[in-house]
Amino acid sequence: MTANETPEIIMTGPLMAYAADQLRARFTVHELWNAPDRAAMLREIGGRVRGVAGGGAHVRIDGALFDALPKLEMVANFGVGYDNVDAAEAGRRGIVVSNTPDVLTDEVADLALGLLLATVRQLPQVDRYLRAGKWLEKPYPLTTSLRTRKVGIVGLGRIGKAVAHRLEAFGLPIAYHGRSRQADVAYRYYPSLVEMAQDVDTLISVAPGGAATHHMINAEVLKALGPNGIVVNVGRGTVIDERALIEALEAKTILSAGLDVFEDEPRVPAELIAMDHVVLLPHVGSASVHTREQMGQLLVDNLVSWFSGKGPLTAVPETPWKKA
């Protein structure tokens, strides 16, 4: 940025004040999600906008939006996952996309372990039991245990590795499934998700969304997991065939599930809500003040770095950035 130029950017959804205030101090910010007529706003300002601060499901960031923003240079996405952005199309158009990796890794991994423990030991159900006065009548029934469980991780990226590291402290055997074997990882690799499900009894999914992972945890995988099986998902809801999961839980094909993400958020199937033996969270994996502020800061830093001529800090693979 130069002293004589204030780039114009669009915010597609609300951000924490910590980040939004910094953006307003450095850029001319247009709040697209607040516009009574988004199409009219884009017609008015689209030719001047050079950046997008994106987050949430308020506006899909794809070719249609790119068409309305002919001078767009960069999309800074709030979140490590960016399936709300057509990054491949952005790359084809020479638009750089950034995300917020690393800063939320530990928070999501912590939540994954908490959700696993809550599901295995039925912690929300036990809490409700006590509050309802039922402990006065008789002890809570015995639960399953984390002891003797074998865990398969679906998607061994940054967060998957952090989850695995925490699981090691519990003394649990760990396997993983992904696109390819990772040379620097000692855990057992399964090229087939079904085969891994047959050999473990607990699946933890931290896989990203998108066409490549859509419904990869399906009825066949759930059947292979077996009647003692538990599924935990802190990645993307689309990775699991939700209808197949509901049927597996109802038929006791698997034991239980702990879910922080869903296919059509924030709408959660009534069948899942009605089940007392599952644990459901409203996509709170990174939802601490500390981590969300760090995510917002990285979004801001990416935009500031780009418009200062230094390039993005964390460009996604579909839009690689090579410093000139």
The residue annotated as part of the active site, out of 168, 179, 265, 290, is 265
Task: Lay out the sheet containing 96-98: strands in order across.
Answer: 28-31, 8-11, 49-54, 74-77, 96-98
The residue annotated as part of the active site, out of 26, 48, 93, 283, is 283
Q: Is 256 helix (H, G, I), strand (E, B) or coil?
A: strand
Active site residue 8: no
Measured from the Cβ of residue 160, the count of other Cβ atoms closer than 10 Å reads 29
Q: Is 72 helix (H, G, I), strand (E, B) or coil?
A: coil
The residue annotated as part of the active site, out of 149, 236, 263, 292, is 236
First to last CA, the chain: 18
DSSP state of 132: T
Active site residue 265: yes
- The CA–CA distances, whole Å, from 140 to 19, 126, 127, 147 equal 46, 7, 10, 19
Rounded Cα gap, residues 202 and 122, in angstroms: 15
49-54 vs 8-11, strand pairing mode: parallel
> And the tokens for 116?
């696993």
Q: Is 320 helix (H, G, I), strand (E, B) or coil?
A: coil
Active site residue 236: yes
Task: For the chain, give the number of residues.
Answer: 324
Indicate which residues carry an active-site annotation.
236, 265, 283
